[in-house]
Structure 1
Amino acid sequence: MQEKSADKHPLSDLAYDWITLMQNKAQALIAYDQYIKDAEAAGSAECAAFFRKVHDSDKAQLEEAKKHLVMVLEGKMGKGQ
């Protein structure tokens, strides 16, 4: 049987969720850059345009997520630890 630690985790579940979402969005942006190059190499302007659209949407969401994370870390959003 393990004893419960008196130390709280340094990140709330909500902060961890925002960080994880941001990591996933950042990795997706890198992948989209490759998808755009692949579409351009295949001569598909339509596919490249769609990948750019998805890229731009995720980039905007990443920017918004950063603002939410800051507010969570500052205790201005969500319940405190």
Structure 2
Amino acid sequence: MKEKSSDPHPLSDLEYDWITLIQNKAQALMAYDQYIKDAEKADSAECAAFLRKVHDADKAHLAEAKRHLVAVLQGKMGATNTR
């Protein structure tokens, strides 16, 4: 979305995208916790192990995304156009 002087959104598209990605990853991590419990309850060690692997990868992605968001908010990455 291009910058508009009448646009009331205080976030750039890039800022909004990182915030949305972080929210989605955080929600996914909570869901994976439940999926792991379900796999353990079903005595499926293989499924639980895979879900832990997915959880750990998303957790690492979340940490990296947070670093990118901070850099974007500090003006070190991306343009500063607003939504």
TM-score by length of structure 2 reads 0.88
Matches within 5 A, 1:50-65: 50-65=50-65
Separation (CA, whole Å) in 1 of partners of 2:76 and 2:64: 15
Specify the alignment match of 1:19 in structure 2. 19
List runs of 5+ in structure 1 lacking aligned partners.
Answer: none
- Amino acid in structure 1 at the alignment position of 2:31: A
Specify the alignment match of 1:67 in structure 2. 67
Give the aligned CA root-mean-square deviation in angstroms: 1.4
Specify the alignment match of 1:10 in structure 2. 10
| Identity level (%) | 78
Deviation at 1:75?
Answer: 0.5
List runs of 5+ in structure 2 lacking aligned partners.
Answer: none
Deviation at 1:9?
Answer: 2.4
Decide which structure has the larger Cα Rg and report it: 1
1:28-72 superposed Cα distances (whole Å, 9 cap, x missing partner): 000000000000000000000000000000000000000000000
Deviation at 1:22?
Answer: 0.4
Separation (CA, whole Å) in 1 of partners of 2:7 and 2:20: 22
Structure 1 consecutive aligned stretches of length 4 or more whose deviation exceeds 4 Å: none
Specify the alignment match of 1:31 in structure 2. 31
Separation (CA, whole Å) in 1 of partners of 2:37 and 2:8: 45
Aligned residue pair count: 78
